[in-house]
Structure 1
Amino acid sequence: MKHPKLFSLKSPRLRIAMILTVAMMGAVFFAPAVFAKDRRPEVIKQTQPSYPSSMKESGMTGEVTIRFFVDESGDVVDPVIIRSNHSGFEQAAIDAVLKWKFKPGIKDGKAVKTRMQIPLVFHLDGEEGRNAYSYTTPGPSKKDISKMPEGYRYDVAPKPRSVIYPVYPYEQLKNNTKGKASVAVLVDARGKVRKMEISKQSAPEFGLAALAACEYFEFEPATLQGQPTHAIITVSLEFNKGSKFITGEDRDMLRIEKKSPEKIIPAGKLDAMPKMIASRQAPFPLAALRENLTSGEAVVEFYIDSKGMVRLPRIVSNTHPSFGYIAVQTIANWRFEPPVQGGKPVITRARIPIGFTSKVKKTRAK
């Protein structure tokens, strides 16, 4: 039996919605009559995010959840992407959030740094009242269901709610090497990815890149007769010059790297080191857990372009391949202030180590 594959779903109309939730750095708010001076941040200015023009042709419904802080001055700082169903929506979401202005949160009469989390939803509805998923998985036939192992049968497939594009392995991209990979994914009854395994790969680099991307997937769980259940699906990815996750800016950077390397300014010659303005947290890779590893490290090199976007990340070293590929996948979605030399935006090269520590206790061999 073939497991269902992911594919895009198109629909024509646009609507954007935002919901805000807030946590005051762990503080608990009581009734105003008890602590009248305590106050959550209040919105002063809230710029509506624009649906990215690059995504309109795809027809996707975009969902991005961002965690950030409102500082003591009421400015948004340190945004972190928690999840999104397409990286194409992330920049638009971050651009909007960074322009927001608040009255700062108050605790015991003083302005405090406040943590907030917001889901921004870019709706594209095929018809009024019907949500359109950015990706979907087809339901199985009765024959397929009968072939599923006991405990993993479902009649409604998992629906991806958080996905991420893979990073094209650097050497393969540079050499214009095509490839593909398929990953078998075990989704539990809560929609969490619990196990993954490369089922097909044209080369190990493509399999590991696909595996790293799947680490970020989250789902609405599969159901069987209306009840949530475990499910195994297959995610298949192709890497070629037509891949949507290879942008014109990536190709431009390859040309600069090859033909005009003098345009890449060493970090030591910049006016200042670029400050990170948006990040994504790296999960501890499931592949490492499966090998009973509890810690690891990877060093990643990449370019920061004149707009502050990360380009062409590649592994310099790692203590296990899974750490290297998940580090590349994570850093690819970071964002910096544009590098500047002599007051003008430029391109620079950066190298960053990322450490990993698992919260799962190591299993003792019997």
Structure 2
Amino acid sequence: MRIPTAVLAIAMMCLGPVAAKEKPAPVYELQATGTIEIGPDGQVADYHLDKGQPAAIENALGRNIAQWRFEPIVMDGKPVIAKTRMRLSLEALPTPGEDYQLRVSGVSFGEPTRDRHHVAPPRYPEGLARAGIGAKAVLVLKLNADGSVQQVHAQQVSLSQNSGTDSQADRWRDVFAKASVAAARKWKFDISETVAGAPIGTTIKVPVEYFLNGSAARTKEPGANEWRRYIPGPVIRAPWLDAAPIADHDADQLKDGEVRSLASRFKLRDEVVGRLL
């Protein structure tokens, strides 16, 4: 879908104005979310985009989504109806004619939502808070069909600063990992993926950030314009995941409070990432 610059500028005001004659031209990005249902034949039976998208974007997405084809989802040897949440990342790329071309840059399925009453953040380890040490812990959680947490694994813990020794860094990461895992065991999520009308368990990735704001230690997202510095820790795969590649997509760029599914049953037959709208 090729959109004149003026039309795109109006439709994407939430992303900022288009700078006329700026070289190089800016590239715009946004994310769209919604739900999708497929029939036993793998064709899209229904879909719904969440409110808030500009009409030009919603119309372009709708035409594209309707053409998607999935591998049929089978239960007890029989293809069934299935429904899930979807998240799409979009880019608006400049063209030589000063128009913009919309492209799908990422897609994921099966993202559950946090139950607001059952997602208490971890307690910031007091000793590390006093020492001014922050961290980002990336957790992998195995969820039951009711959204409760069955297993938790700290996949990676990255520190806000270097330590004097590798053993000291290991101890700090271990403290943050234990605090994160202890809190996550009590969490509960609203499962979004259903097969034949019944919710199914999944595996998800969730980040937790520990950061200092002046003298206060917090475990919630700082301001959107606030930079955070981390020294990446080693990545350790969750023991219950097999060696096959998992649908990770852009999960490494998750912000605190966001969730990505690693085990959705929705599998596209054709690649849609990179497709023009």
Q: TM-score, normalised by structure 2?
A: 0.32
TM-score (norm. length: structure 1): 0.25
Instruction: Name the structure, 1 or 2, with higher relative contact order (CA <8 Å, separation 6+).
Output: 2
